[in-house]
Amino acid sequence: MPTRESMGDNRWLRPVAHRVLAPELWRFTRRSVPRGVALGMVTGILIPMGQIPASAVLALPLRANIPAAALTTFFTNPLTTPPLWLAAYWVGSRLLRLDAHVPGHPLTTHAQVDVGWLDWLLVDAGPATLVGLLVFSLIGAVLGYFVSAFGWRWWIGHKWRRRHKRKVEQSHTPLN
């Protein structure tokens, strides 16, 4: 996980370092963390390589928390990516069955060109997987936003209850 200092020392980021190193992008607040989680889900699912730099750059205009966005991109990793892409292909192929209800399946009949796996990749698998990934990133961003916002509220409420409980216990202790 990159730190503010390591990003400031990076020669590629030097032209935009003043923007990337803005303190409000590194502070954990109730608004910036859910934005960062949602952004990290989108970049983690849709961008196969360079997810952390992409989430850091996109965090600038969205005022999202950079560490939260960068950490959330690790949702996709070598163990989770293949099942995610298979599920995305399955969901996308179900959503793109536009001519399934038309008698005779005219789109499928006229679109068949026999060039083998390249045809399958460009005509069937590619668009279906892309649509599935878009659906998953949208669902992941919305769920990530609301789960992290709810988690933030729960954590702050828990701290307040604990602090109140300590104050009550201190006020009831007898003085010697």
Please tell me the pTM assigned to this model: 0.73
Q: What is the DSSP string of 89-118?
A: HHHHHHHT-TTTTSTT-HHHHHT----THH
What is the DSSP-derived secondary structure letter of residue 16? G
Give the C-alpha separation, 37 to 43, whole Å. Answer: 10
Q: Which residue has the tokens 């608004």?
A: 31
Is residue 59 a contact partner of residue 53, using CB atoms and an 8 Å limit? no
How many residues does the structure list for the chain?
A: 176
Q: pLDDT truncated to tens, each residue of the chain (176 aa)?
A: 666 677 667 777 677 776 777 777 788 888 999 999 999 999 999 998 889 889 988 998 898 998 999 999 999 999 999 999 999 998 998 888 755 555 555 555 555 555 566 666 666 778 888 999 999 999 999 999 999 999 999 999 999 999 988 888 888 766 65
